[in-house]
Amino acid sequence: MNLIKQIEEITDKCISCGFCESVCPTLEPDGYNSVFGARGRVILADFALKESSEGLELGNSFYSCLDCYACVNVCPAGVNAGVVSELMRELVASGNRGTKNPVAEMIKTSIMEYGNPLGLKEESAEWADGIKFDDSSTMLITGQMYQMMPYTRKINKVRKYIDENLTINIASAMIRHISLIKFSRHFYNKQFRDKMNGDLKNIVSMLQKSGVKFNYLGAEEPYPGMFLHELGYAKEFKEYAETVYNLLKEKGVKRIIAIDPHTYDIFKNVYPEVVKGFKIPVVYYTDLLDLEYRKFNGNITVQEPCHIVLHNNNFKAMDILNSVAEIKLPERSGKSTMCCGGPDELLFPDTAKKVSMKRYKDLKAKSDNVITICPLCYNNLAYDENVMDFSEFMGKLMVKK
Ligand code: SF4
Ligand code: SF4
């Protein structure tokens, strides 16, 4: 079915009730402008396809959707405004409607050229210097997510002082001279980089102490292509994902251990649909842990990652956390969890910040100790030192074997 028909088939089911607006995290930060909320996105898509897209803010509306899928859980008609946004981005990215986003174009160009959204492939392997891995067909795929966070954090700090037009001009220049993106390697916060590298080492240590045998590809590790998929570059993503699959086959990979929800979701749900013959099973690292832990002295609250609790089902991390501390969940938890705003960080940093601050306050109202299970969530919610990544928190409680 062609893209326009696919979108219309979804938008035609909408009865315009507005239930989805109550859970959509991007509506409030954007001043309740309806095109930045779930219902508005569905109506806008419908109008742009059936009437006219002239003068409409298509790009910003659909690119700012976080793909959290909170909307479909409350929609009486089963409409997924997240999927509508994904398909509309595909339409925009293919040049069929609206205007392409220069920052998105820059990221796409960098991934296709360097295998990393910010040209940081080699830097992404440095954390593992000196770690001994096993000769195994089970491969740890970091997705380069923990590694990129210190850079996106610093870049956004700099962007605060840069006019939006200048950002667009810089992105446009980088599209023409993509090697300039390699300068990103100078923009990071050392303390934060050490912290994220420490989390990666904790994950490896917990897996190894659980008796899991696995290998790591180092600087050869492929970025799985999440941004290409999420930003609507369907053709490029297919081409890119096929090269990733060929590399994994060449390296004899028979099982993937993912350590962030985005990498887990893309290998579990997207690759099998897009890449012919892809059948490599993927497991989330927390599901492999088999350790003893001390009890934590206090209660905790948890930011459950949307890409696991809303897009997938199984998740052992909550059971582990439950075994060491009393969990006080925020009102929006489980299937109605709220996104941290992370996916908007590169394209819409202001929106990301407002969404994350709201979520941070919700979590802090339940407990001072906030546990995240995703590097994006951690990066966006770490407003104080009592916000901890699962790997840091459990690493401290692990009883040494
Ligand atoms: S909840 Fe569903 S039917 Fe109601 S406005 Fe949102 S998308 Fe449309
Ligand atoms: S997927 Fe999330 S951000 Fe996107 S429209 Fe639905 S609730 Fe809003």
Nearest CA to ligand 2 atom 2: 68
pLDDT tens digits for the chain (401 residues)? 689 999 999 999 999 999 999 999 999 987 888 989 999 999 999 998 988 777 666 778 899 999 999 999 899 999 999 999 999 999 988 877 777 888 899 999 999 999 999 999 999 999 999 999 999 999 999 999 999 999 988 888 877 777 778 888 888 888 999 999 998 888 888 999 999 999 999 999 999 999 999 999 999 999 999 999 999 999 999 999 999 999 999 999 999 999 999 999 999 999 999 999 999 999 999 999 999 999 999 999 999 998 888 777 667 999 999 999 999 999 999 888 899 998 888 888 888 999 999 999 999 999 999 999 999 999 999 999 999 999 999 999 999 65
Nearest CA to ligand 2 atom 8: 24
What local confidence, expressed as pLDDT, does residue 57 receive? 65
Spell out the residues 6+ positions from residue 249 whose beta carbon is closer than 8 angstroms to its own: none
Q: How far away, in angstroms, is 20 Cα from ligand 1 center?
A: 6
What local confidence, expressed as pLDDT, does residue 239 receive? 97
Q: How far away, in angstroms, is 35 Cα from ligand 1 center?
A: 13
Q: How far away, in angstroms, is 255 Cα from ligand 2 center?
A: 31
Q: SS in 3 state form for the chain?
A: CCHHHHHHHHHCCCCCCCHHHHCCCCCCCCCCCHHHCHHHHHHHHHHHHHCCCCCCCHHHHHHCCCCCCCCCCCCCCCCCHHHHHHHHHHHHHCCCCCCCCHHHHHHHHHHHHHCCCCCCCCHHHHHHCCCCCCCCCEEEECCCHHHHHHHHHHHHHHHCCCCHHHHHHHHHHHHHCHHHHHHHHHCCCHHHHHHHHHHHHHHHHHHHHCCCCCEECHHHCCCCCHHHHHCCCHHHHHHHHHHHHHHHHHCCCCEEEECCHHHHHHHHHHHHHHCCCCCCCEEEHHHHCCCCECCCCCEEEEECCHHHHCCCCCCCHHHHHHHHCEECCCCCCHHHCCCCCHHHCCCCHHHHHHHHHHHHHHHHCCCCCEEECCHHHHHHHCCCCCEEEHHHHHHHHECCC
Burial of 211 (0-12, 13-18, 19+ CB in 10 A): exposed
Verify whether ligand 2 is closer than 6 Å to residue 84 (CB atom).
no
Verify whether ligand 2 is closer than 6 Å to residue 355 (CB atom).
no
What local confidence, expressed as pLDDT, does residue 1 receive? 65
What local confidence, expressed as pLDDT, does residue 168 receive? 84
Ligand 1 atom closest to the Cα of residue 16 is 5
Q: How far away, in angstroms, is 58 Cα from ligand 2 center?
A: 15
Q: How far away, in angstroms, is 362 Cα from ligand 1 center?
A: 25
Verify whether ligand 2 is closer than 6 Å to residue 82 (CB atom).
yes
Determine the Cα–Cα distance for residues 315 and 220; give it in Å rounded to an integer: 29
